[in-house]
Amino acid sequence: MNKFKYYIVLLLAGIAIVSCNKKDDDDDVVVTPARDYAEQYKADNDSIVKYLKTNYITVTENYDVTISKIPDGGSQASIWDQTTYPIQYRDVYSRDITYRVYFLSLRKGVGQSPCNFDTVNVSYTGTLLNGSQFDSSYGLAREFNLDIYASTIIDGWGEIMPQFKTGTRNATGADGTISYSDYGAGVMFLPSGLGYYANSQANIPAYSPLVFSFKLFDLKRNDSEYNVTSAGLVPVGDGVPSYLEDLNGDGYLYDQRDTGRYPNLPKELIDDSDGDGIPDFLDFDDDGDGYTTRFELTKPTDQVGWGKLDGKDFYYGTRLYYPWDPMSDDPATPNEDETEPRGIPRRPTGDLTYPDNDPKNPNPESITNPRKFVPEDYTTPGRLRIHLDKTYPYQKK
């Protein structure tokens, strides 16, 4: 009897140990590795192309969009085949993959195109390929910073928005509302690698391709240089808006140091004047001459507001820094004069401060004998502006 009790105790203890081990195993968090980007893109692209070939689009006169599945026997032209808004695409390099991103241009717009580091003012609706809506601004404009390092925006928005232009801002209504006309409108079809990828969101499963219809009303230019602080990245800028630091003029900026996104960024996509590995739109010293860009763009203190030029009264503009190019007054702000008659100058091309009339003994241009600025130095199209010119300011000898 005692032996029987002993074996029963051992059996119960063993069951308890097994049960505890099983519980411990159940409590372990199983981490599933993210899928391979290339394989997932192939699956996403197949799904998007199928979607485009089996659905049709309806667009209202206000560019509101409805996308519906073509019923069996239906005669509607698919998004892929319809010709009113021909399907377009943009090839996007990311994660060492060249994504083919399809989009529709319902209307191009008449204003300015944002770059992928500007802030845009848009209304939008987002849906999955199964037609379910996961987000919408309900026709109202909302502001989004396309800077992928300063916001939670998905990469795909910054890749497609620059293909469109803003609209014309109309007079503010009596109730304070602002309306726009002739704005850009479109639809983008994003593979998950340019969306949320493995990170599921509310109503968006992981690895979901996304469809966004949108209207681009307005934009705000950003100046993206930042300081790193304990609170995070603090944008401070260098005085040149980021879109003007797009050296190749393609409307896009990329940070080649981000080897997670861009492990082998093509050279033609790099905008880096001094070749120091920092793109100009994030570089405080664009030409690598030891002088910060903001220092080189600062106006002389006697050339802010009203002053003298050749003995006559002259309005230099109230900005402390030269704008990229001369600016006209904005008629939409009658209480403020934005006129800036001078843009960022090139290296001066006028007479030497101390010319030497003896050609056999010239007095060369130097830090102690600089040339004088002439009006054309501030306005000539295509000039090499001083913040991109390593030969200016003059180097000490």
Collapsing DSSP to helix, strand or coil, 210 comes out as: strand
Judge if 127 and 242 occupy the same domain. no
Predicted TM-score (pTM) of the model is 0.87
Judge if 112 and 190 occupy the same domain. yes
Judge if 56 and 201 occupy the same domain. yes
Judge if 90 and 204 occupy the same domain. yes
Judge if 239 and 175 occupy the same domain. no
Q: What is the DSSP letter of 93?
A: E
Q: 121 phi and psi, to 5 degrees?
A: -115, 110
Q: What is the pLDDT of residue 4?
A: 40
Question: What is the distance between the alpha carbons of residues 125 and 185, in angstroms, rounded to a whole number?
Answer: 12
Residue 367 included in any domain: no
Q: What is the pLDDT of residue 362?
A: 74
Q: What is the pLDDT of residue 3?
A: 41
Residue 341 included in any domain: no
Question: What is the distance between the alpha carbons of residues 143 and 166, in angstroms, rounded to a whole number?
Answer: 13
Collapsing DSSP to helix, strand or coil, 162 comes out as: helix
- What domain range is 119 assigned to? 37-220
| Other beta carbons less than 10 A from residue 266's beta carbon | 11
- Bridge partner list, 65: 59
Q: What is the pLDDT of residue 13?
A: 46
In the chain, the number of structural domains is: 2
Question: What is the distance between the alpha carbons of residues 295 and 240, in angstroms, rounded to a whole number?
Answer: 12
Q: Give me the torsion for CA of 114, 120, 124, 129, rounded to 10°.
A: 50
Residue 213 included in any domain: yes
Judge if 170 and 51 occupy the same domain. yes
What is the tens place of the pLDDT at every residue in 265-312? 999 999 999 999 999 999 999 999 999 999 999 999 999 999 999 999
**Cβ–Cβ < 8 Å for 54, 46:** no
Which of 194, 220, 246 is where one domain is finished? 220
Residue 291 included in any domain: no
Judge if 132 and 264 occupy the same domain. no
Residue 276 included in any domain: yes
Judge if 173 and 243 occupy the same domain. no
What is the tens place of the pLDDT at every residue in 4-31? 444 444 444 444 444 444 444 555 666 7
Mean pLDDT by 10 residues, the chain (397 residues): 42 45 54 91 98 98 97 96 98 97 98 98 97 94 94 96 96 77 98 96 95 98 93 90 96 97 96 97 96 96 95 95 95 89 97 81 85 96 96 83
Residue 384 included in any domain: no
Judge if 136 and 54 occupy the same domain. yes
Judge if 183 and 116 occupy the same domain. yes
Question: Residue 129 is part of a domain; what is its CATH number?
Answer: 3.10.50.40
Judge if 199 and 245 occupy the same domain. no
Q: What is the pLDDT of residue 206?
A: 96
Judge if 185 and 271 occupy the same domain. no
Residue 106 included in any domain: yes
**Cβ–Cβ < 8 Å for 137, 225:** no
Structure tokens of 209?
A: 């391709």
